[in-house]
Structure 1
């Protein structure tokens, strides 16, 4: 690692910045991991789209359908391809603590920059504060790598800002991906100051969060490589303008992406978000591939609707 445990927060404040994208994993027709396709996508994301970091083996990457060996291999490929040109944060999330720790140690040993660990499902638990604190404390005690919390509705609850702020005091907690209503992450941002990065995956809120909350990190989802091409990098452009304090110029560029956002929203089948994302990648010239069960594939009729929306959205190839 490039930092010590005690320096994790400072290192992340300095280096875990900009746009970090969550990688979809391409699967072959036989549902094996398409390593060649994944490497090709990563090269495009870094070399052509200037994405600053990748979130690997998360929900977007269908980690829930992968074996432990596949997840570890996923980590290794990302670290190998990023090779100091972009940061790597990997999801070690698992309901079994020993499994999550095993994945975390592999991430630490193979050269990942950070790990992300989602809040566990807590059946029957009503008072979650101490449970969550002790959960994250165990990972901090046993690991040196920087850790990002991750709270989202899939856990069956949302971590409260007060709970997150307490956990943020642990030495190698460096960030949180906070998939919650805006008022909650605004409150947490004010509570923790510059102690950790607070971020959410909603691209349509990213500009406001730079301008109003002084956020430095987009962590993360697929828009950085679905709203952009090698010759059309408006997300990067409005981000740079906002970081430079040029709010009006940034807003103009941001608003120009509304037709793309609208096309994606209205053509995405409600029950097939992953298959949609992969097909949109294919229309952009990236490697999409199959989805694994329990996720569902697109029908030909759904693909036709998406193709039409893509052709009309105004993205420049």
Structure 2
């Protein structure tokens, strides 16, 4: 651990800046984890695209399809490959709290910088504030590593800003990935100030959030490595322009990516987001690979449509 538990908030404020991406996990033809492929992708993301940190073993990484040992190995490989060149935040999310703690302790041991824990499913529970506060307190009491909250619709509800602000008082809560409507994350940002880092995964809102909310962190999804190549780093470019206060220039660069965003949006089947992302990676020369059940693979027709859209999107390879 590079910091003490009580230093988690300050350490995150100092080190979590810029673009952090959520990694898709490559699985080979036999659906085994492709460790060499993951390492190759990480080298490209960090060295060529200058992505500042990676979110591992999350929803993009199909964590729900992986065994406990696979999840631990996923963390270990990523932490080793990132080394001191990029930060890491490991998803230790699970409905079983003992599994969450076990994964958290592994993250601490393998050299991860932070962990992230999504809000649990709470069947039949409608008064959630005390439940959620005590859930995160339980984890904070047992882990020393910095913990990010994560609220998204897949839990069946969204954490209210007031609940998030209360949880933010816990000593090693240092961030939140807040996948909610904009008015909710604006309100939370105003409530917590500099206490924790607030972010959302919507890339098309990132520039506005730098300018209007003073955000320093994009946490996290796949656009940082799907919208960019070694020769075309427009997301990185508009981010740096925005950090420099050159917002008009930043908007021009951001908006120039609209054809790429539309190429992805228009060809992504509603039931196959992960397979589509991995195929787009392959078109970019990255390692994509297969998806695990229950996710579905693209058909040849869907691949052809995606490839045609990719070719006309204007991305420079």
Q: Do they superpose with TM above 0.5?
A: yes
Q: How does 1:85-100 map to 2 (within 5 A)?
A: 85-100=85-100
Give the match for residue 155 of structure 1.
155
Q: How does 1:146-225 map to 2 (within 5 A)?
A: 146-225=146-225
- Tell me, in whole angstroms, the C-alpha distance in 2 between the residues paired with 1:33 and 1:122: 31
Give the match for residue 286 of structure 2.
286
Is 1:2 aligned to 2:2, yes or no?
A: yes
SS at match of 2:266: helix
Give the match for residue 302 of structure 2.
302
- Tell me, in whole angstroms, the C-alpha distance in 2 between the residues paired with 1:128 and 1:270: 30
- Tell me, in whole angstroms, the C-alpha distance in 1 between the residues paired with 2:248 and 2:156: 39
SS at match of 1:149: strand
* Structure 1 runs of 4+ with >3 Å offset: none
- Tell me, in whole angstroms, the C-alpha distance in 1 between the residues paired with 2:301 and 2:99: 40
Give the match for residue 51 of structure 1.
51
Per the TM alignment, residue 159 of structure 1 is displaced from its structure 2 partner at its CA by 0.1
Give the match for residue 81 of structure 2.
81
- Tell me, in whole angstroms, the C-alpha distance in 2 between the residues paired with 1:262 and 1:105: 41
Give the match for residue 145 of structure 1.
145
Give the match for residue 127 of structure 1.
127
Unpaired segments of 5 or more residues in structure 2? none
SS at match of 1:183: helix
- Tell me, in whole angstroms, the C-alpha distance in 2 between the residues paired with 1:283 and 1:188: 38
SS at match of 2:154: helix
Per the TM alignment, residue 46 of structure 1 is displaced from its structure 2 partner at its CA by 0.4
Give the match for residue 18 of structure 2.
18
Is 1:237 aligned to 2:233, yes or no?
A: no
- Tell me, in whole angstroms, the C-alpha distance in 2 between the residues paired with 1:3 and 1:12: 10
SS at match of 1:112: coil
Give the match for residue 111 of structure 1.
111
Per the TM alignment, residue 17 of structure 1 is displaced from its structure 2 partner at its CA by 1.0
Is 1:259 aligned to 2:265, yes or no?
A: no
Per the TM alignment, residue 149 of structure 1 is displaced from its structure 2 partner at its CA by 0.1
- Tell me, in whole angstroms, the C-alpha distance in 2 between the residues paired with 1:40 and 1:117: 27
Give the match for residue 38 of structure 1.
38
- Tell me, in whole angstroms, the C-alpha distance in 2 between the residues paired with 1:64 and 1:144: 25
SS at match of 1:147: strand
Q: TM-score, normalization: structure 1?
A: 1.00
SS at match of 1:88: strand
SS at match of 1:36: helix
Per the TM alignment, residue 240 of structure 1 is displaced from its structure 2 partner at its CA by 0.2
- Tell me, in whole angstroms, the C-alpha distance in 2 between the residues paired with 1:109 and 1:37: 24
Per the TM alignment, residue 82 of structure 1 is displaced from its structure 2 partner at its CA by 0.4
Per the TM alignment, residue 126 of structure 1 is displaced from its structure 2 partner at its CA by 1.2
Per the TM alignment, residue 121 of structure 1 is displaced from its structure 2 partner at its CA by 0.2
Per the TM alignment, residue 222 of structure 1 is displaced from its structure 2 partner at its CA by 0.2
SS at match of 1:73: helix
Unpaired segments of 5 or more residues in structure 1? none
Per the TM alignment, residue 255 of structure 1 is displaced from its structure 2 partner at its CA by 0.6
- Tell me, in whole angstroms, the C-alpha distance in 2 between the residues paired with 1:259 and 1:41: 24
How many residues matched?
Answer: 317
Q: TM-score, normalization: structure 2?
A: 1.00
